[in-house]
Copies of this chain bind each other. A is one copy, B any other.
Amino acid sequence: MIHRFDQLVVDLPEPSGPNPAAAAAVQELMGGKFGEMSTLMNYTFQSFNFRGKDKYRPFYELICNIAAEEYSHIEAVSAAINLLLNGATPRIDRSKTPMGPSGKKAKDKKLAAKPAAAPKGGKGNPAPLSDPNVTSFYPYHFSGSAQTALPYDGFGNPWNGSYVTSTGNLKMDLLHNFFLECGARAGKARVYEMTDDPTARAMIGYLLVRGGVHIVAYAKALEKLTGADVGRLLPIPSVSNKQFPEAAKLEAEGLHTIMWKWNTSDAFAEIGKIWSGPHPEDGLELEVRNEMPPGFPWPDFPEEPQLCAPGDIDPDMLAHYARKLGT
Contacts and interface: CB of A to CB of B under 8 A. Distances in A.
A146 B168 contact: yes
A25 interface: yes
A151 to B, nearest CB: 3
A320 B281 CA distance: 7
B194 A310 contact: no
Interface string A204-234: 0000000000000000001001111111111
B102 A249 contact: yes
Interface string A231-273: 1111111111011111011000000000000111101100000
Interface in A62-104: 64-65, 67-68, 71-72, 74-75, 78-79, 82, 89, 94-95, 97, 99-104
A167 B195 contact: no
Given A262-B3, A313-B238, A169 B195 contact: no
A103 B199 CA distance: 10
Interface residues of A, number: 170
Contacts of A75: 1, 48
A201 B103 contact: yes
| Best-buried of A9, A56, A226, A281 by chain B (most CB within 10 Å) | A226
A207 B252 CA distance: 47
A245 B100 CA distance: 8
Contacts of A39: none
Contacts of A248: 99, 102
A180 B71 CA distance: 23
28 contacts: A1-B262, A2-B3, A2-B5, A4-B64, A6-B268, A33-B162, A45-B148, A52-B303, A52-B310, A89-B193, A94-B193, A97-B243, A127-B193, A129-B194, A139-B154, A139-B155, A145-B168, A169-B307, A169-B311, A171-B233, A175-B179, A179-B179, A230-B233, A232-B325, A238-B314, A243-B314, A264-B264, A281-B317
